Structures are given as structure tokens and as C-alpha cells.
Chains A and B, each alone.
Chain A
């Protein structure tokens, strides 16, 4: 096995790591935003369901939920492919944490701004989408970055359901080459590089949406 082969296998692994991370972040964002906004509307029984979701999903270890989804649900005839299983476990757990971050951010929106929007004649949905959500996303920026980083760090679990991401490649390479130390040091650096890339990307998004008066990242 030559150097080029090792690099190309790790590059492939990095591609899957990024894919898993982005898919789980997207799932977390969609579910977190939906839960936070629907929770804000305080629709009786729905609020209760959402509270149970955030409570339960923050309490389950990622690996346990992943195994329930991937190995357990097929018993009930529900077969999810590996990536979807990651989204339903790591993604939804991230959503539960993000929902809490967003709930705090919504509480930071000034009540007089909301009152001004209502006094202007906006309905609840317009106030939520035009005033509360845009401010929520900005107030929540530091907390969101935290959660995104956590997703990257949990992404190696994907190897347990057969996704050939970095960790999986590294273990195979270590077994073949018997150079575990170098390989694991190399992927440590690789994860760090992916983290820096993610940060750079988020900073670009921040520059696009930053507004004086909000401390983003």
C-alpha cells in the first residue's frame, strides 16, 4: 500500500465525514427551528409533545439511539439506510439541543419589538417569521456553532453502521499497515482541518447576515 492509496482512502473518508456531518446538521436545524417556533406558538397539546421530544432526545446517548434506529426498527419492518439512520439519531438529538438554544434566543427578543409588530397589524405568523425568527437565529449563533462542532465530533459513530467515513478508513489502514500511531495522528489533524473549514464557512455566512448590535460567532 503506497502513500497515494492511503491519502485517497482518507480523502474518501473525509468526504463521507463531511456528508454525515452536513446531513445531521441540516436535520438538526430543520427540527430545532421547527420545534422552537411551534413551541413559541403555545398550541396546547402540541407544546407538550415538543417538550417530550426535547427532553427525551437530550437524554439518549447518540450510539444507543443509532442502534435502535438501525438495528432495532427493522424488527418493526422499518429499514433505514445508514445515512438516514444517522440523521434520525445524531440529527434529531442535535435538533433537540438546538431547540433549547433557540428557545433561549427567542426569549431574548425584545417584547416591545414584538408589540410594535402586532400594533402594526401583523398576525402571529408574520411576527414570528419577520421579527422573532431572524433575531433568534442571530442570538443563537454561538450556541449553534457549539452544536455543529459536536455533530462533527460524533460523526465517527457512522462507521458502526457501515458508512466508510474517516474513522472506518483509519481502522482499516491501521490494521493493514500496522502504523496505527501515524494513521490516528493524521486523522486527528484531518478532523481539525475539517473543523477549521466549517468555521471558515460559518464565518462567511456570518459576514453575510451580521447586523450591528448582535454578537454572532
Chain B
């Protein structure tokens, strides 16, 4: 098991945003988290890598408790590749340097070795020919593919996606879904927050429906998307389908 989350709770100024979330993620597994806006999806991802400090609960990464005081937070984060809806490319760096930065600063690689590794990851994302462009000169879909290459370059144990296609138009969204699908074929472990049922259907081994800070249902994409017994879930996916 790569990840075991138990009774994870997060309160912001006394307001409970996560209210006892349980989640397991096995090696090679892909889980998709869906749910209404504001239900705590981003907060959940960020609590796991401690960008946000959880209020209570347990997070085990490869069996190790990462919430204890003496845990090495930065070592944990290097194991988790994070891809944001906003792409978050470093705008003063070329696509290539976006990918090499972590290798150089965190892995201590020399420029040459880092460049080779980064070019390999960009190639994988079909972005090699744009390696020397700056973020301002890349389309949204291209930026997101660089961001994925940047995450992959660190050889993480798991990739987190927080709505990777939500800022993209349908065409660019399609190109990002296709590379994420390729990662799925490569057996990369992923935890993906999305509103995109198309993406979820492609990659989800299991879909987790989060509602007001609790896991309301868990199952395959088919089970959740069509005719679920819970009316709230039925209503959510009918609405998503038409949006």
C-alpha cells in the first residue's frame, strides 16, 4: 500500500472541511476523487503532502506515519508528484529548466545529466520540440504537459492531479487526457481530482465521491456515473454530464 489515510480531519477556523476521510491507494492503482465544488478535494490532496497541516487523523506513506512531528516533510513531497489546475510553471524558466530545476536543486544532478533526464520526460509528454520555449509562449495544454513532465522527472512514487483539465478548452483537455491515459497504461500510481467524467472513465480503477468532507461513496466509474442508489450522487453526475 502506498497510501493509507485514516479519519483525516481538517478544520479552517473551526469550520470542518474534511470530516474523517479514509482512503487507500495501492501500488499501480489509479483513484479518482470527484465531488461538488468546495467539498474538500484540494484540501484532501494538500493535507496528504502536508502543504496544509491536517487537524487530526493519520496518513501513512508506505506504512510510515508522515504526520508525526519528526517526519521528513520534504522527503515525503519528493515522493509525490503534484500537478495543479493552474499549471504553475515557473514563468522565468524555459520548459526544459522547469523540469530540470528539481533534479538540480533536490537531486544534486549536474546540468548535463538533468537535461538528459528532462528531455526524456518531455519526449514522453510529446513536448521535446518545445523544450526551449518559455511558459508565456506555450498553450494551456502544452503547459500542463510540461507540468506533468516536471512531476515525473523526480521519479515520484505517486502522482497527484488537482483538476488537471479544468482550465483547458475541450481540445487541449483531450490532449492532456491522452497523456494521462498513457501514464495509466504505464502503470503509474495516481490520485486524481477531476470534474471530467471522460477522464475518470478512462483512468479510474476506482472513483471516490467526496461530499461535504466525507467519502459518500466509492466504486467503479460505471457504478457511480449511472443510476446510483444515492439520489445525491445521481443528481451530481446527471448535472456534470451536461456541463
Listed in ascending order, the chain A residues whose CB lies under 8 Å from chain B are 110, 112-113, 115-123, 126, 130-131, 134-135, 138, 211-214
Contact = CB atoms under 8 A, between A and B. Distances in A.
Interface of B: 49, 51, 74-78, 80, 82, 84, 86-92, 101-102, 105-106, 134-137, 147, 150, 154
Given A122-B105, A126-B105, A213-B135, A115 B88 contact: yes
B194 to A, nearest CB: 18
A124 B82 CA distance: 18
A116 B88 contact: yes
A113 B89 contact: yes
Contacts of B49: 119
A135 B74 contact: no
A97 to B, nearest CB: 24
Contact of B77 (A118, A138, A211): A118
Contacts of A212: 134, 136-137
Contacts of A112: 84, 86-88
Contacts of A211: 91-92, 134, 136
B117 to A, nearest CB: 15
22 contacts: A112-B88, A113-B88, A113-B90, A113-B91, A115-B51, A115-B84, A116-B84, A116-B89, A116-B147, A118-B51, A120-B154, A121-B78, A121-B102, A126-B105, A130-B101, A131-B92, A135-B91, A211-B134, A212-B134, A212-B136, A213-B135, A214-B92
Contacts of A135: 91-92
Given A119-B51, A130-B105, A110 B77 contact: no
